[in-house]
Amino acid sequence: MVNISVTDVRWWSRAACVSSFDLLRARFLVRLLIMNNHHHLIFIYGTLRRGGRAHYLMQDADFQSKGLASGRLVHVDQYPGLIPCDDEQVMGELYLVNDQLLNELDRYEGCLESPPHYLRQETMVLLENGEKRSAMVYTFQLLESHHEEIKNGDWIQWIESK
């Protein structure tokens, strides 16, 4: 079994000395990687979004669309938290991620801590094109009365206005 990542193949395919045969082989390896990995749709709304300080973690994810999910946002220290509710909307981005990245994101979001800061839950996302997709989202678990509500539902826009 060849031990190669999608990042390796992307770098390799951009190298100037790669032949067309090598590019075909690289594409085949990417397809093989995709077939051997489970992929998940994840809705992100804070520091992982484009413009967020932790977006670098999403470099191996495939951007799908901007979108809206049900919930309300609160500001928690230096990051947002999504609280599930049906009467408000949160702006975010939908990405396709593999198992390895999903596990890294779980660690980043504090899902493995006790008590967990966030839990990964399923939600419906309304995409820019009007389509609805089921995706995972990290919901905040440690809500306190001093957490400021983000009324516009867009953390990146809210933080830039501060």
| Domain extent listing, the chain | 6-36, 39-160
Write out pLDDT tens, residues 48-78. 999 999 999 999 999 999 999 999 999 998 8
pTM over 0.85: no
**Among 64, 62, 60, which Cα is nearest to 5's?**
60
State mean pLDDT over 93-121.
Answer: 95
pLDDT, residue 21, reads: 60
CATH class, range 39-160: alpha beta
Helix (H, G, I), strand (E, B) or coil at 105: helix
| pLDDT at residue number 122 | 97
pLDDT level of residue 162 (50, 70, 90 thresholds)? confident
Contact assessment for residue 111 and residue 118, using Cβ atoms and an 8 Å cutoff: yes
And the tokens for 93? Answer: 């981005």
Residues 65 and 50: beta-carbon distance below 8 Å? no
